[in-house]
């Protein structure tokens, strides 16, 4: 006699997989790969992630890391280097948090991450203020 195995049926309509529509950007050198525009990208959010793009259903959203003092995170800066995951124990907040920005500021910041040209960071900071 042949053995009959039972196959479990799954309903694809009821099972929804969480799809990560976010793109995480980092400084050139810490990246895993480059996107189609040559910007450095990581596969998931880490301490060295500097910016992220969320493609939601209603509209695209752009985020960059900003400190409590309003300055944009500079991963190669003298005072901010290595502090991406720093936790401020006195006030109970992360030192660098994501802030939603417009596309112009986001593109300037991505240009800084790609080229390491500080002028792009300064332009993004001016536009943010």
Query: Which has the closest alpha carbon to 51: 29, 61, 33?
Result: 61
Domain of 116? 22-128
Give the chain's radius of gyration (CA, Å): 20
0.85 exceeded by pTM? no
Q: Give the Cα separation of 35 and 84 in Å (integer).
A: 22
Q: Give the Cα separation of 97 and 88 in Å (integer).
A: 12
pLDDT tens-digit map of 46-94: 778 889 999 877 889 999 999 878 899 888 877 665 555 566 656 666 7
Residue 31 has pLDDT above 70, yes or no: yes
In a domain, 7, yes or no: no
In a domain, 4, yes or no: no
Q: What is the number of domains present in the chain?
A: 1
In a domain, 5, yes or no: no
What's residue 16's pLDDT?
41
What's residue 89's pLDDT?
55
In a domain, 95, yes or no: yes
Q: Which residue has the higher pLDDT, 57 or 100?
A: 100
**Is the distance from CB of 123 to CB of 108 less than 8 angstroms?**
yes
In a domain, 3, yes or no: no
In a domain, 57, yes or no: yes
**Is the distance from CB of 59 to CB of 115 less than 8 angstroms?**
no
**Is residue 5 classed as helix, strand or coil in its secondary structure?**
coil
């Amino acid at each position: 006699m042949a053995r009959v195995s039972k196959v479990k049926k799954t309903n694809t309509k009821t099972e929804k997989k969480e799809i990560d529509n976010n793109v995480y950007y980092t400084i050139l050198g810490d990246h895993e790969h480059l996107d189609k525009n040559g910007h450095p990208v990581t596969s998931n959010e880490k301490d060295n992630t500097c910016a992220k793009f969320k493609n939601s259903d209603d509209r695209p959203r752009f985020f960059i890391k900003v400190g409590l003092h309003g300055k944009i995170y500079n991963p190669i800066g003298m005072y901010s280097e290595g502090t991406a995951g720093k936790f401020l124990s006195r006030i109970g907040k992360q030192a660098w948090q994501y802030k939603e920005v417009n596309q112009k500021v986001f593109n300037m910041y991505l240009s800084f991450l790609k080229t390491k040209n500080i002028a792009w960071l300064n332009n993004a900071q001016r536009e943010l203020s």
